[in-house]
Amino acid sequence: MHKLVIRGGNPLLGTIRISGAKNAALPAMAAALLTDETVVLENIPQVRDIETERRLLAAMGAEVELGYGRAQHRTTICAAKLSQHPEASYELVKTMRASSLVLGPLVARVGSARVSIPGGCAIGARPIDLHLKGLESLGAKITQEHGYIEASAGRLRGAHYRFERITVTGTEDILMAAVLAEGETVLENCAREPEVVDLAALLTKMGARIEGAGTSTIRVRGVQKLRGARHRIIPDRIEAATFLIAGALTGGDLMLTDCDPSHLGTLLEKLKQAGVKVKVGEGSVRVMGDAAPLEAADISTEEYPGFPTDVQAQYMALMTQAQGTSTITENIFENRFMHALELCRMGANIRIEGGRATVRGPSPLSGAAVQASDLRASASLVLAALVAEDETIIDRVYHIDRGYERIEEKLRGVGAQVKRIGEILPRRVGV
Ligand code: EPU
């Protein structure tokens, strides 16, 4: 198993190119199931979840080509010949919960889907009941047996459906089902994340008729058939946020390019409040971390446009180095503080009570052997290691490989001392 070995203390200086958004790429790939024509996706990040999705789509009969060399971030998908009884196996779903994103497209296109019920997850229960209720409202019949959800339908019918709680992949799943349903669908209390907007943009290029993506009410007028399209995935706002925090934390001067600062609003506000200097450009953000000592600033995670739960762990690492006491409240997932215990092992002063963490800083951190528990928790440990004294060894790096493209190369490129140890794998994702 791979480990990252990080020696802290270097300020990060230079430029990092931000990759395409994993959480926009995954629904976009699932959307290719909606047409028998070819869908070409650009700016696909080379991360492990993308390879998992490739295997998932291929298992259903889709041809998925992940590009090589100069075309390495392009993925071409043709779902002309789909299995009549497509299945997302437990093997795949257990490694990536976003596999449930194939439910909506499959029921809409083939009229049948069998998807393993996702089990528990390191950050919370994460049920998919709202996806199922949404599909039922469009006329699908759902049964559960042997750990699998079986969904079937003739042509779906447009309906009025209100999500009981805001769900990102739930919104995407039902949106993909509704685009081929007969008549009009109105979805209320939808997620407003940029990834939902990006999916709607792709679906629109494919011929779907969608209004309101990015607001809480989405209206869809169903069409008979969708066509192929070419689409460029939006930049990864969570990767950008992680590197912004890395720049601030190490007192560096980092320029992030190929990103969309308009997706980073709440974080940029918080960083300013914490005394970090940030400069927004066109498709770029620069962070200058040495301006003044960091100050504690509270956050509370919320659905977009609020502070993202996917940046909470990284922000906690930042607050361990800030003057004063900050309160970090996690409202989206019930168990997303696993990183706090590892940060404490490195010397942080963090107290957890229910969904609230109190961080007292600044605490000198010292390198230790720590374990990644999920994707963003691992990012938080990498950040802490960058300012810790001596060496930190992060185990279970496969978590970070699910969502960060070549993180150690990007960090090394701006002066961090990071190396990967363990079995040597070929560079290309997919092995
Ligand atoms: N929920 C339900 N029922 C459902 C669906 C969700 O109760 O049917 C609950 C969840 O348990 C959670 C809350 O609603 O408490 C919000 O979950 P949501 O469905 O929005 O999460 P998701 O769609 O499964 C996506 C991202 C996550 C990100 C969350 C929240 C993808 C592929 N994943 O997950 O990303 O944390 O939205 O923003 O888009 C990550 O990238 O590290 C990651 C975990």
- 101-139 in b/e form (b: 16+ CB < 10 A) is bbbbbbbbbbebbbbbbbeeeebeebebebbbbbbebbb
For residue 344, indicate whether it is catalytic: no
Is residue 66 pLDDT above 90, yes or no? no
168 lines ligand 1 (CB under 6 A): yes
112-118 mean pLDDT: 92
Structure confidence at residue 425 as a pLDDT band (50, 70, 90) = low
**Average pLDDT of the residues of the chain:** 95
Closest residue by Cα to residue 222 from 234, 237, 201, 207: 207
Taking only Cα atoms into account, the Rg of the chain, rounded to an integer number of angstroms, comes to 21
Structure confidence at residue 167 as a pLDDT band (50, 70, 90) = very high
Distances (CA, A) of 178 to 12, 87, 159, 191: 46, 20, 9, 16
246 lines ligand 1 (CB under 6 A): no
Number of the ligand 1 atom closest to the C-alpha atom of 374: 42
Q: Quick one: pLDDT at residue 429?
A: 46
The residue contributing the CA closest to ligand 1 atom 7 is 127
Catalytic choice (121, 190, 259, 344): 121
> How many whole angstroms from 274 Cα to the centroid of ligand 1?
28
Distances (CA, A) of 125 to 18, 97, 418: 30, 11, 33
Within 10 A of 415 (CB to CB), how many other CB atoms are there? 16
Number of the ligand 1 atom closest to the C-alpha atom of 375: 42
> How many whole angstroms from 142 Cα to the centroid of ligand 1?
21
Q: Quick one: pLDDT at residue 124?
A: 75
Ligand 1 pocket: which of 142, 332, 339 to mutate (most atoms <8 Å of CB)? 332
Number of the ligand 1 atom closest to the C-alpha atom of 191: 20
336 lines ligand 1 (CB under 6 A): no
> Who's near 69: CB < 8 A, 6+ residues apart?
none
Comparing 34-43, 119-128, 213-222, 280-289, the range with the smallest average pLDDT is 119-128
99 lines ligand 1 (CB under 6 A): no
Number of the ligand 1 atom closest to the C-alpha atom of 172: 23
49 lines ligand 1 (CB under 6 A): no
Residue pLDDT, tens place only, 368-392: 999 989 999 999 999 999 999 999 9
Where are any strands of DSSP class E within 106-223? 112-116, 141-145, 148-152, 160-162, 184-188, 209-211, 218-221
Number of the ligand 1 atom closest to the C-alpha atom of 26: 32
The one-character DSSP state at 250 is: T
Q: Quick one: pLDDT at residue 431?
A: 33
How far is it, in rounded angstroms, from Cα 66 to Cα 10? 35
> How many whole angstroms from 167 Cα to the centroid of ligand 1?
6
Burial of 88 (0-12, 13-18, 19+ CB in 10 A): buried
Percent of the chain with pLDDT over 90: 89
Residue pLDDT, tens place only, 256-307: 999 999 999 999 999 999 999 999 999 999 999 876 899 999 999 999 999 9
126 lines ligand 1 (CB under 6 A): yes
The residue contributing the CA closest to ligand 1 atom 14 is 167
Residue type, 362: P
Burial of 395 (0-12, 13-18, 19+ CB in 10 A): middle
Structure confidence at residue 1 as a pLDDT band (50, 70, 90) = confident
| Predicted TM-score (pTM) of this structure | 0.96
Ligand 1 pocket: which of 44, 137, 169 to mutate (most atoms <8 Å of CB)? 169
Within 10 A of 196 (CB to CB), how many other CB atoms are there? 24
Query: Residue 137: which H helix or E strand, with range?
Result: helix 129-137
